[in-house]
Amino acid sequence: MNRVRIATITCALIGAFLWGCSEQAPSTVVQIGTRAITAEDLRSYVLGLNESQRSHQEGPAARREYLQPLIDYHLMWLEAQALGLDTAAAVQRQLERKIRRHLVALYLKRKPVQPPLVEEDEIKQRFERQGLHSTLERMTWGIMAKARPELEQAVAELAAGTPFGEVAARYSITPDAVNGGELGWLRVESIRRMGLPDSLFYDLPLGVLSPVLPHAAGFCVVRFTEERPVSYFDFRDEILQELQEERLGEARTARAEQLADKYDWNLHEPGLHLLLKKSQPLAALELTPEEERTPLFKFTGGQVPLGELLDQLKNRNINAVVDSAALVQLAERFLLQPYIFAAAVRHEDLIDRETLEAVRQSLREEVVLSQLRQQRVVASITIAPEAVRRYYDEQTERFRRRDQIDVAEVLVETEEEALAVRRQIEAGADIAALAQERSKRRGARARSGVFPMEKTSDLVPHILAAQPDELVGPVQVHDGFSVFEIVRRQQGERMPFAQVRRQISDMLRRAEERERFQAYIETLRQQYANQIQVNQQQLAAALPDDFLTAF
């Protein structure tokens, strides 16, 4: 049972609770210890399933298939209660934290904070203050090869006077090869993302070829031919978003401080003194349950317990012991907004009692069952490094980049023109030469009529369906009619192990978690088998054949 299925069950049970308050007693389909599944629960669950989750079986088999996840859900609850997870202090704090997040989102939706608008002059000032106006970008060209000897041969041809574009087209394994190795206008951040040193960007003179440099995909050389300062408009939107987020944060802080005054938010000195006298790193501090409940702050209608602050510090790995003023400031930075905005929802009656109770019940079940899964399934999973490597070695085709496909294409306005072009090519005309002469595709002349597939998005489905050396068309696309032929198809290179190691580890962990979770559910079914009593008559009445057929 995955998290989506648990959420579906939770919503169904809460929906049945809210709508099932009638004078007629609910009919019990299954009794599991002290817990019951009613006909309303079961129907609400089934009606909430999407098409992919519906049973392909009929009659009793379909009823059993729909009922089993609900039974498993209640078995998990019985086990969680047996372990005391439903009342554990840490789980209760996690639950209250989720409820606060829900209430804060509700408050900010109903009482939105409106920060001041950002003026254009402020964006320009930030642009200059950060020194971005003096940032350079350089026109960059590159050649990359898998093996060093190949690249050294390319460098030798460059030294002999062969044009850079010709050498790049012949040796480079990147899609930019068809553009003569042009990488475009790059800033130092781009060079850094390529795994190359900053010094290359700043120190390599214009027109000078770099030394052979190692790269994750092999070896490369680059050169810069022009440079220019970056444009203000290259950074404007990014700076605007940064300033808007700062303003929003400041406005929310101001609102929280206003509410703190309104609701008499105050430091509770005994709680602060209790923390300070422990004289231990805060994130490693252990308190008794009673000490964890000691208030650090109090306000109208609520308080902030010490246990909540310690959870926040541990989650952020903050270990240093600080003085009292710094500790109070740190605690308010983490806790004031969530507590005071959640309090405002209650004080301003932004949610009614019944809805809040439904939210609490839903989140409580999510937190408790998540904790059960964490303790009984997830915590014991360890993925060995050798298993990750073995998976990579065995799945030889899975971790490849997309094939590099180049097409020669002639794009014209009408189907009649396209048919005439096709006849010329079939009679022996060179498709690339025709493309340079007649194609409407932007850049056709500069690219000698040959494009990497990524530059022809409207043609991609047709390219993927075509065979090498097959003349295709006319194909109607957005700007006219196309005739094309695949002239180069190179299998995508395999991604380095280091690049996909984390992805493989996550995949193996998820697979192991699914397997172990299913095994755990099987143990619960056996453990509680004598407490499960199914009323077959009520089950058939809850999901009659005509309902299943119509559904």
Yes or no: say if 399 and 392 are a contact pair by the CB < 8 Å rule: yes
pLDDT of residue 21 exceeding 80: no
- List, for residues 422-447, the tens digit of each pLDDT value: 999 888 888 888 888 888 887 777 67
In DSSP terms, 397 is beta-bridged to none
For the cut 70, the answer to whether the pLDDT of residue 539 exceeds it is yes
pLDDT in tens, 276-328: 887 666 666 788 889 999 999 999 999 999 989 988 888 887 776 567 888 89
What Å distances lie between residue 535 and 30, 143, 315, 386, 549, CA to CA? 6, 73, 47, 50, 22
Residue spans in the chain of domains classed CATH 3.10.50.40: 136-229, 404-490
In 3D space, the residue among 200, 254, 257 whose CA is nearest the CA of residue 223 turns out to be 200
Instruction: Enumerate residues 6+ apart whose C-beta is below 8 A from 386.
Output: none
414's CB contacts (< 8 A; 6+ apart) are 480, 481
Mean pLDDT on 347-359: 93
* pLDDT, position 97: 93
Of the CATH numbers 1.10.10, 2.40.160, 1.10.4030, 3.30.310, which one belongs to the domain with range 1-111+352-401+506-551? 1.10.4030
The reported pLDDT for the residue numbered 260 is 97
Please state, rounded to an integer, the average pLDDT across all residues of the chain: 87
- 508 token code pair: 């193996």
- The pairing of beta strand 450-452 with beta strand 404-412: antiparallel
Sequence-ordered alpha helix ranges (H) in 209-299? 232-262, 269-278, 289-292
Q: CATH number for the 136-229 domain, one of 3.20.20.70, 3.90.1150.10, 3.10.50.40, 3.40.47.10?
A: 3.10.50.40
Asked whether residue 16 carries a pLDDT value surpassing 70, the answer given is no
pLDDT at 20 over 80: no
Residue in 500, 476, 356, 363 with CA at minimum distance from that of residue 414: 476
Give me the mean pLDDT over the 1-19 stretch: 53
pLDDT at position 108 over 60: yes
Enter the tokens of residue 172: 């480079």
pLDDT at 6: 59
The radius of gyration of the chain's CA atoms, rounded to the nearest angstrom, is 33
17 has a pLDDT exceeding 80: no
Strands in 97-217 per DSSP E = 136-145, 182-186, 213-215
Arch. (CATH architecture) of 404-490? Roll (3.10)
Residues of the chain with CATH 1.10.4030: 1-111+352-401+506-551
Please give the Cα distance from 329 to 333 (Å, whole number).
6
pLDDT band at 362 (very low <50, low <70, confident <90, very high): confident
pLDDT given for residue 3 in this prediction: 57
Q: Sorting pLDDT into bands at 50, 70 and 90, what band is 189?
A: confident
The verdict on pTM exceeding 0.85 is no
